[in-house]
Amino acid sequence: MQWTQYLGPLSQGAWVTIQLAVYSTILGAAFSFLFGIGKLSPNHLIKTISIVYIEVFRGTSLLVQLFWLYFALPIVGDAIGIDLRLPPVTAGVLALALNIGAYGAEVVRGAIQSVTRDQYEAARALNFTPRQALFRVALPQAIPEMMPSFSNLAVQNLKDTALASLISLSDLAFKAEQLRNYYQDSTTIYTIILFMYFGMALVVTLLMRILENSVGRWRGARR
């Protein structure tokens, strides 16, 4: 059958998509905690930087962010005498991570703020510093509350990786477009990648569910 000859190239593209999704999700999670906690900082400079980052990357298109990093940043670098050209994979991972990190930062901020004031007062009564109260009281309670939202963001990030094909990154969407142009068989090719994306999304959801359950058990063990 003709459709079987599509599986090799599409599998290669799927592997690139998986790497993009994994690296950008991990880096995006780091940005989420960094800027989510930063937005709650009493330091005005840190708080301002965090707010600007969150609003800029939530308020602009991921596609524009991707194009800016890949096409515009090198021009800025040339103007100041610095080579700022990014390989397609680096530009793709960074754009996706910065974007998902901005949304994740609001999840982190909201979860931390949902911890009741009584918990902070108890920590203060035990002579905890603000940092100790954050890491030993607030975060252990807030992290399980973040997990459902982080699961949704991880699936969304997987789907957003398709935009990386627009900077000639050979991911699943790019391979599919190459095959479509060559074989003129849009229905079969796009049906296959539809199921491939769906399968990868199911795996991501399952992994996040396992992580969510693990975090829940960790929280229970700390009580």
What are the tens digits of pLDDT across the range 172-212?
Answer: 999 998 998 888 888 899 999 999 999 999 999 999 989 88
Rg over CA atoms, the chain: 21
Residues 6+ apart with CB under 8 A from 220: none
CATH number for 2-222: choose from 3.40.50.180, 1.10.3720.10, 3.30.300.30, 3.30.420.40.
1.10.3720.10
In the numeric block, which tokens belong to residue 100? 């998902």
- Give tens-digit pLDDT for 146-162: 989 999 999 999 999 99
pLDDT category, 143, cuts 50, 70, 90?
Answer: confident
- Give tens-digit pLDDT for 24-61: 999 999 999 999 999 999 899 999 999 999 999 999 99
Answer whether 111's CB lies under 8 Å from 219's CB.
no
**pTM for this model (two decimals):** 0.89
Alpha helices in the chain (DSSP H): 7-39, 44-59, 62-67, 73-80, 88-113, 117-125, 130-133, 139-160, 172-183, 186-222
Distance CA 143, CA 148 (A): 10
Predicted pLDDT of residue 141: 84
Residues 6+ apart with CB under 8 A from 203: none
Distance CA 171, CA 161 (A): 8
